[in-house]
Amino acid sequence: MRYLSTRGHDTGRSFTEVLLKGLADDGGLFLPETWPSLSREQIDSFTGRPYAEVAQAVVAPFIGDEIPADILREMCKAAYRRFAHPATAPLTQVGPTDWLLELSHGPTLAFKDFAMLLLGQLFEHVLGEKNERLTIVGATSGDTGAAAIEALRGLANVNVFILHPEGRVSETQRRMMTCVHEANIHNIAVQGTFDDCQALVKEMFADETFRAEIGMGAINSINWARIMAQAVYYFTSATSLGGPARAFSYVVPTGNFGDIFAGYVAKRMGLPMDVLCVATNANDILVRTLDAGTYLPQETVRTVSPSMDIQVSSNFERLISEALGRDSGAVAHLMRDLKQTGAFTLSDNILASIREEFAAYAASEPECESMMGRVCDLTGRLIDPHTAVGLVAAEKARASGRISGPAVTLSTAHPAKFPDAVEAATGKRPELPAGLQDLFEREERFSVLPNDLAIMKQHILSAS
């Protein structure tokens, strides 16, 4: 499989190159040249198979012959062995035709473990073979950082710098990152928002000299390998509910458009799917874009679902590239508009083609809180605020007629990651699962830095 950039000037890349580079040289995001397709029979055969086996079958075509099948099998086994539930990604029914897909049984209690644990395996193998070192620099709104740190701690060939917005991640999220003491792990609290952190990482990437000097790689959801790994649970969930004979809508709590783009990938690979529904909190740039066609980042507002407090939704560029028929000149043009004017506008027919496959709804803070309360009252179940945003969107999609058949809402985090918000909404304080119960007694380690590119680069250079 070969990869090309959404902006057209970086082409013919191998999977390994794309894995290690993250962002393309022209600032675009990598996409496979063509979508591999799985037959009905192949998808059917996933029913009842262990998660790791389905994972291998789904990701193999994206890797091609770059990693031998038996090694890939062992990587998938090692990655998904670390989940606390025997089904890895179990489903629970929450309405007559509504299910939650529980993606919170990994070591850091959010869906990002699915991609990151596989990424850790891939990095270790590929860097070992090439005898190279990599410095990962990543921005996190809370969950990516913890998952990356957990997956990469102690690896010999990888140094990890994770930037989080100071005071804007929950204490549980922060401690999952800062209480890890392996020498290859470095945490930085940035005096700014998540979008500031992401902008710093993007600028460091854009600086070729700096990038070469530290051997910089990416673990943010711009990294293609993460998207690929996340396509897997769309297949396992659909087949355990009667797919591919039956098509589902998926409702996905969305920030950077990574997880929902993985659903789109599963669909392009042949999984029958109804609507893909974006769910956002008050940071509703994607809802506004799908409503009116203008992508206009605004000031980020703080919500109780901090992992989605995002106004610059990086992976949306991948969807735009698809909607524009991979016209890289047109994509580059829109991205130039965004840089120069702070916004871009999609033409009516492009917007219409996106709307055929995607819907988008936002949940306000009171709606999110009341959903947590209602689910608790009705079922005794505690859900996290991101999942609640998903359920609010699912309800709105049904009320407006956009979703009428069976639907799966992705439950992206464990309630114990956001105990204050959950307790405020339900009166019950969720407990951390076994293994994490001493988290608040552990010692933290992190640096606090201003939102300043030069200072950040200096810090990373001197520590790597």
Ligand X SMILES: *Cc1c(COP(=O)(O)O)cnc(C)c1O
| List of residues contacting ligand X (CB under 6 A) | 110, 112, 143, 221, 253-259, 307-308, 386, 412-413
What crossing angle do the helices spanning 232-240 and 258-268 adopt, rounded to 10°? 60
Q: Which two tokens stand for residue 334?
A: 């829109």
Q: Which is nearer to ligand X, 72 or 94 (by Cβ)?
A: 94
Nearer of residues 160 and 278 to ligand X, judged by Cβ:
278
How near is the Cβ of 418 to ligand X at its closest, in Å? 9
Q: CA-CA distance, 385 to 368, in Å (whole number)? A: 6
Q: How far is the CB of 383 from ligand X (least distance, A)?
A: 11
Are the beta carbons of 410 and 112 closer than 8 angstroms? Answer: no
Radius of gyration of the chain from its Cα atoms, rounded to whole angstroms: 20
Least separation in angstroms between CB 272 and ligand X: 23
Question: Among 21, 112, 417, 457, which one carries the catalytic annotation?
Answer: 112
Of 56 and 198, the one with the shorter C-beta distance to ligand X is 198
- CB-wise, 8 or 142, nearer to ligand X? 142
Rounded least distance, CB 412 to ligand X, Å: 3
Nearer to ligand X, 43 or 265 (CB): 265
Residue type for position 305: S
Q: How far is the CB of 99 from ligand X (least distance, A)?
A: 17
Q: Name residue 152's amino acid.
A: L
- Catalytic status, residue 112: yes
Residues marked active site are found at 112
